[in-house]
Amino acid sequence: MAAIETPVVAVRWCGDAVRALDQTRLPDEVVELELRCADDVAAAIRRLSIRGAPLIGVAAAYGVALELARDPDGLERACETLTAARPTAVNLAWAVARVRAAAQDGGAAGALAEARAIEASETAASAAMGRHGAQLLADTGVRRVLTHCNTGALAAPGRGTALAAIAELGGLELVFVCETRPLLQGARLTTWELARLGIAHELIVDGAAAGLIAGDEVDAVVVGCDRVAANGDVANKVGTYAHALAAAAGSIPFVVVGPCSTIDLDCPTGASITIEQRDGDEVRSAAGAPTAPPGTPVRNPAFDITPAALVTALVTERGVASPVHAEAVRALLG
């Protein structure tokens, strides 16, 4: 079992490799992977050893730098492989494009410098999102939060996105953690992070969220995001949209936290965001155990779209958009 720092460092540059906590093995085992080329990094992203929109951006940026140090002609292939690893989070394509441009001017050294700059800016963004998000929650008197998937130090450099706001606020009465089927990032990762942070929490199945909200047990839903369209529609882990509907029905805030790197002005609305369809075996099993008759047909979208009208506030490192619409999103970037 590897030693582990607090806060967790999920991905780090080590000169000749990227070291990454293998998130598929948490919480049972704390194991670091050593990734030595772009293909290694892309494979780790595909199998969700590295996950979380901001974190896969940083990892992919270092992946390009790694590849260039091995093979000065490997730029295009590395960029292509890494960009194709997962389709929904825009941070991946954004980070790869930035490092690619830097490499064209400055070679391997330029690529590495750009990857480091991305990591530094995303880390600073995490701290700022934590502050803005905590302020928003404090201002609305939130004591009991519900969250989905994992948005902490395992999902982004620094303390994360939605979980950074929750951690920064401190003193919450309770955080309801949705287990987040099929890959259980809430059950496996968010509970593990909240326990390390000493924050009171209760694990629930995803389907229990709406009833708890209707039963006045939740003051706000706080989640991250994988891509935000120009009009404020939000792509996030599958299951998020139902929580947004429940929050609206229960008249509680539905708060989305993510860095500006997650905003994609090239997508006019959520309808133009590609939703990753993943392997059916993820649904035919849970934590490795079969759950359904072998060969059962499966539909397994990894994300869903929450319309901007259901998002009470979008918290970024540059401030908060509320209500969320095209102008407010543009204002954040301007």
Catalytic residues: 226
Residue 286 touches its own copies, criterion: CB under 8 A: yes
From the CB of 168, what's the least distance to its own copies, in Å?
Answer: 22
Cβ closer to its own copies: 17 or 208? 208
Specify the DSSP class assigned to residue 301: B
Residue 38 burial by Cβ neighbours in a 10 Å radius (0-12, 13-18, 19+): buried
Structure tokens at 334: 């301007």
Contact flags string 221-240 toward its own copies, x per CB under 8 A: ----------------xxxx
323 counts as binding its own copies under rule CB under 8 A: no
Task: Give the count of beta carbons closer than 10 Å to the beta carbon of residue 293.
Answer: 7
Nearer to its own copies, 129 or 218 (CB): 218
**Contacting residue, 72, 106, 170, 211, with its own copies by CB under 8 A:** 211
Write down the least CB distance from residue 295 to its own copies, Å: 9
Place of tokens 């009470």: 312
Token output for 77: 């292939």
Per-residue x/- marks for its own copies, 118-147, CB under 8 A? ------------------------------
**Residue 277 DSSP label:** B
Between 83 and 240, name the residue whose CB sits nearer to its own copies. 240
Written as one string, the DSSP assignment of 235-262 is EEETTHHHHHHHHHHTT--EEEE--GGG
d(CA 260, CA 334): 11
Number of other CB atoms surrounding residue 202 within 10 Å:
15
* Rounded least distance, CB 104 to its own copies, Å: 38
62 vs 254, beta carbon nearer its own copies? 254
Computed from CA positions of residues 156, 85, 4, 150, in that sequence, does the dihedral angle turn out positive or negative? positive
Binding site for its own copies (CB under 8 A): 27-28, 176, 178-182, 184, 187-188, 191-192, 195, 200-212, 214, 237-243, 245-246, 249, 275, 280, 283-293, 296-301, 303-305
